[in-house]
Amino acid sequence: MDKDVPQLLGQTSTIAPQVDEEAVGILAIRDELTSLSDFPGLVDEEVFNDSPPTVDGLRMALAQAESIRQHGSFAQLGVMLPGLLAEARAAVRELSGDDQLIAHGLRSEVIQIASTMLTALGKPDIGYT
């Protein structure tokens, strides 16, 4: 739709942040957040050259992403998030047992970081995914 939530609700804002969407990776993040990969059978499964992501690897990447977000380096975060979102989704799909449960939690934290970033950049339409 590419319409902001306030516009859909008839609310107008006098402050419109000017953001270079390509520079901060908004379009790539939107593609990952709305990926059809979450729906089995709709797309080919991703193939890994190496082994799938591990819980420990996701934890480290998540901590780095949160640190970058807290420092407000959205251009750097925009480069990192699409890959991290894909890795978290793959971990949920590929892992099992307790590791899969942990991966679900880590994935939700990655999505929260993306949501916070996008909302801060004035893109609540995809920030509330």
Q: What is the tens place of the pLDDT at every residue in 12-34?
A: 655 555 556 555 688 788 778 77
Mean pLDDT of the chain: 80
DSSP string, the chain: ----HHHHTT---S------TTTTTHHHHHHHHT-GGGSTTSSPPP--SSPPPPHHHHHHHHHHHHHHHHTT-HHHHHHHHHHHHHHHHHHHHH--HHHHHHHHHHHHHHHHHHHHHHHHTT-HHHHT-
Per the structure, the count of domains in the chain is 1
pLDDT at 42 over 60: no
* Residues composing the chain: 129
Render pLDDT for 66-90 as a digit per residue (tens, 0 to 9): 999 999 888 899 999 999 999 999 8
Question: What is the reported pLDDT for 46?
Answer: 56
Domain interval for residue 52? 5-127
